[in-house]
Structure 1
Amino acid sequence: MNAQTRPSTVFDVQRVRADFPLLARSVHGKPLIYFDNANTSQKPQTVIDAVDEHYRRHNANVSRAVHLLGEEATAAYENARDRLAGLVNAASRGEVVLTSGTTQSINLVAYSYALPRLRPGDAILTTVMEHHANIVPWQLVAARAGATVKAAPIDARGELIVEKYVEMLTPEVKLACVTHVSNVLGTVNPVRELARECRRRGIPLLVDGSQAVPHRPVDVQALGCDFYAFTGHKMLAPTGTGALWARREHLEAMPPFFGGGEMIREVKFSGTTFADPPHRFEAGTPNIAGFAGVGAAIDYYASLGFEAVHAWEQQLLAYATARLREVPGLRLFGEAKEKEPVISFLVEGAQATDLATLLDLEGVAVRSGHHCAHPLMQFYGVPATLRASLAFYNTLEEVDAFVTALLKVRRLLM
């Protein structure tokens, strides 16, 4: 595929790139091509400014002081909750727990919702394509309760075998889990269909939305799930930020997971009464400056429009996939009909880590390894893959340069 066959677009990617300071740097004397967005996204200047502004002008703790700085910090923190509630179309802001990210969100559900309800012989259902964050917490609580963790299979294209997932929703399953978008394959799972089948059986469904929220509009009410976890740093926001959306009735029935300040009504040695959700799950001092950045990140997405972002990323994905097919001996992993811009692959005769190291010397940042998805690697019979994950600030020219670099380093390793 050459320049004449590139897709046309009205998305002004060069203007967008100017908003991201890090994209202008060079590495090893080469212009940076950042294709590791599934790992963490780069940050626009407005997010950087929001964090800087907090520390320069508003730095104070939240919900602890009546002075002006405390009120300003609290307002910024609670504004992030409002913005996140709007982002996923929560029914109310009280359904959004602010966390450090998806891992904390899932652990909160594991220990506060699942563990008190699990009994010997019960099961939790997940899938083969999950990130470790949607496997290991369930194994930990299942082991404590005498329960088990089951994994629904996928096919060779990297698509969930939906009928098998539904078959595995047996009476002993007390919680079902699924990733919205695979961090290795880019596969988009049919969450709405799975949620409908779970509801018919009275089984709550938790969705890992880490790789979905940065790329597509998410409406938790339309999806019909019970829990939705996602991470800030993959969607332009600072690290150490994220959220758990949960149905209000679940939050009200869940005991606290962490104990400490700001999650209580009253503490006595005879007993403690806890705050209402979501604050009962937010013990201690949070990443206040980070959540100021979350608000700015959501504003930035809104300025571009999620539909425009999604459309451009789909053009990038199609173009990059076609270009990679030109590389001799390249094997793609994950060819689902519906995907987000994540491409995993191997090149015959070359180790993934060797390719990634040599690509870095060419200025290309990609991820190599198991991507926190050991069961998925085992399914494909490989120890690791190379992963190129794209974002809306990437360009067709970067794709071409990436493929040129890949062909060069391939020759060096042959």
Structure 2
Amino acid sequence: MFDIQEIRSQFSILDQKVNGKPLVYLDNAATSQKPDSVLDVWTQYYKEINANVHRGIHTLSQLATEEMELSRRKIQKFINAKHDYEVIFTKGTTEGLNLIAYILTQELKKDDEIIISYLEHHSNIVPWQLLCERTGAKLRVIPIDENGILQLDILDEFLSEKTKVVSVNHVSNALGIVNPIEQIIEKTRKNTDAYIVIDGAQSAPHFVIDVQKMDCDFYVFSGHKMYAPMGTGILYGKENILEELPPFHGGGEMIATCSFDGTTYAPLPFKYEAGTPNVGGNIALGAAVDFILKVGQQNIQNHENALLEYAQRKLLELDGIKIYGEKANRTGVVSFNLEGVGIASDVGMILDKLGIAVRTGHHCTQPIMSFFNIAGTVRASFAVYNDFNEIDLLVEGVKKAQRMLS
């Protein structure tokens, strides 16, 4: 049974006041809050078994290794990867995307093409631009319509024997639009042998993810957006692809043998996990998966969709509200502006004085903002612990901002 008050009670940070008002945290697309169960696991690691992993025969090292590898197996099941060694620990989505773009360098040549979309976060734009600079490849961008919906007929025109990479996000962080990645993958597989990369930063916290059914080559996401500590993330890659491609970082852990004459690399996943990992964070990421599964992924999705529908309806009852992507299939995000108010940050500051945390600005998606000819938006984004009363407080705060800024 879904009990929102019981869920909220697991997040101690929600008990505090900000500027004398109860905290209303609606900035979950930037980072989620962490349940006490996750924080307890993270703290317990440092209090009881702090040690480096995979390298020691002593008891603490063995315990730390067991806990981190257990977390890897939890994540394998969470995304339905075929093997646990296809799950690579990273610092987050940005590192995962940069890793992929780097290891694909030798796979591309001049005039090859990389396809991304207009809805991408900068972290799914800049690494590919850098890859183009290194190789002479060209970047092609799937356009959007006035509702922010990808124009997939243009993707059909783009796909050719020159296409080597197609990289798109599952959900837009700026607008909350759910992209039809099943269609994108199907079209790509039908017409090319390109690598398919999915940015799952905004989908892993909200949906059931099945990378085998999806049939992507790579899938990346961040722990801190799904109730885990910052500095954690996952890169999933198909075994045969990861085996063939070169490593990203060099150093400890990723070697099988090392001499001045040359080095051989460790098997997966360690080939891509050079150096000391974020052991406590990686273990806590497994605890975050436990939390999500205990609440129930379908329960989370249903609740967040209800919050989104309610927030959009209540905001649109106000005069002078523009919601971006209003008619698109969305999840977890309402991104809006007030007509006649030039700076979204002014709205955000007024809401903050009321204890309401939202994100304002371009959300690391400047091309989207340029498309709509705006500098930024006010973005409210939801998690499982948000409730309808908080939406009402948001709407009242927006009303106050309208009065003060008009």
Alpha carbons 2:171, 2:177 under 8 Å: kept: yes
Cα distance, 1:336 vs. partner?
A: 4.3
The answer for the alignment partner of 1:84 in structure 2 is 75
Cα distance, 1:34 vs. partner?
A: 0.3
Residues 147-174 of structure 1: per-residue CA shift (max 9 Å, x gap): 1111100111111112212221122111
1:216 to 207, 212, 219: 207
1:343 to 325, 331, 334: 334
Query: Following the alignment from structure 2 to structure 1, what is the Cα–Cα distance between the partners of residues 178 and 294?
Result: 25
Query: Following the alignment from structure 1 to structure 2, what is the Cα–Cα distance between the partners of residues 372 and 130?
Result: 9
1:397 aligns with 2:372: no
Q: How many positions carry a matched residue from both structures? A: 404
Secondary structure of 2:225's counterpart equals coil
Q: Residues 301-312 of structure 1 correspond to what in structure 2 (within 5 A)?
A: 301-312=292-303
Query: Following the alignment from structure 1 to structure 2, what is the Cα–Cα distance between the partners of residues 131 and 84?
Result: 24
The answer for the alignment partner of 2:93 in structure 1 is 102
The answer for the alignment partner of 2:189 in structure 1 is 199
Query: Following the alignment from structure 1 to structure 2, what is the Cα–Cα distance between the partners of residues 250 and 178?
Result: 19
Residues 41-95 of structure 1: per-residue CA shift (max 9 Å, x gap): 0000000000110000000001110111000111111112111111110011111
TM score, norm. by length of structure 1: 0.96
2:133 to 134, 139, 143: 143
Cα distance, 1:292 vs. partner?
A: 1.4
1:22 aligns with 2:6: no
1:253 aligns with 2:247: no
Q: Which residue identity is paired with 2:348?
A: A
Alpha carbons 2:39, 2:284 under 8 Å: kept: yes
Alpha carbons 1:166, 1:194 under 8 Å: kept: no
Q: Residues 123-142 of structure 1 correspond to what in structure 2 (within 5 A)?
A: 123-142=113-132
The answer for the alignment partner of 1:409 in structure 2 is 401
The answer for the alignment partner of 1:157 in structure 2 is 147
1:315 aligns with 2:270: no
Secondary structure of 2:314's counterpart equals helix
Q: Which residue identity is paired with 1:286?
A: P
1:75 aligns with 2:97: no
1:116 to 106, 111, 116: 106
The answer for the alignment partner of 1:171 in structure 2 is 161
Residues 345-378 of structure 1: per-residue CA shift (max 9 Å, x gap): 0001221010001110011000001000011111
Query: Following the alignment from structure 1 to structure 2, what is the Cα–Cα distance between the partners of residues 84 and 11?
Result: 23
Query: Following the alignment from structure 1 to structure 2, what is the Cα–Cα distance between the partners of residues 368 and 412?
Result: 18
Alpha carbons 2:116, 2:141 under 8 Å: kept: yes
The answer for the alignment partner of 2:372 in structure 1 is 380
Secondary structure of 2:360's counterpart equals strand
Percent identity between the aligned chains? 44
Cα distance, 1:277 vs. partner?
A: 1.8
Query: Following the alignment from structure 2 to structure 1, what is the Cα–Cα distance between the partners of residues 157 and 43?
Result: 51
The answer for the alignment partner of 1:7 in structure 2 is none
The answer for the alignment partner of 1:267 in structure 2 is 258
Query: RMSD across aligned C-alpha pairs, in angstroms?
Result: 0.9
Cα distance, 1:338 vs. partner?
A: 2.1
Cα distance, 1:20 vs. partner?
A: 0.3
Q: Which residue identity is paired with 2:376?
A: A
Structure 2: where are the runs of 5+ without partners? Answer: none
Q: Which residue identity is paired with 1:103?
A: T
The answer for the alignment partner of 1:368 in structure 2 is 360
Alpha carbons 1:37, 1:390 under 8 Å: kept: yes
The answer for the alignment partner of 1:4 in structure 2 is none
Query: Following the alignment from structure 2 to structure 1, what is the Cα–Cα distance between the partners of residues 193 and 283?
Result: 38
Q: Which residue identity is paired with 2:360?
A: S
1:36 aligns with 2:20: no
1:229 aligns with 2:215: no
Query: Following the alignment from structure 2 to structure 1, what is the Cα–Cα distance between the partners of residues 31 and 165?
Result: 29
Query: Given the superposition, is the C-alpha separation of residues 336 and 66 from structure 1 closer, same or farther in structure 2, using an over 3 Å criterion?
Result: farther
Alpha carbons 1:187, 1:336 under 8 Å: kept: no
Cα distance, 1:335 vs. partner?
A: 2.3
Alpha carbons 2:206, 2:301 under 8 Å: kept: yes
Residues 79-120 of structure 1: per-residue CA shift (max 9 Å, x gap): 1211111111001111111111111111111001x2111111
Structure 1: where are the runs of 5+ without partners? Answer: 1-9
Secondary structure of 2:175's counterpart equals coil
Query: Following the alignment from structure 2 to structure 1, what is the Cα–Cα distance between the partners of residues 232 and 156?
Result: 33
Secondary structure of 1:186's counterpart equals coil
1:181 aligns with 2:171: yes
Cα distance, 1:337 vs. partner?
A: 3.9
The answer for the alignment partner of 1:326 in structure 2 is 317
Residues 123-161 of structure 1: per-residue CA shift (max 9 Å, x gap): 110000000010000001111111111110011111111
Alpha carbons 1:192, 1:222 under 8 Å: kept: no
Alpha carbons 2:218, 2:237 under 8 Å: kept: yes
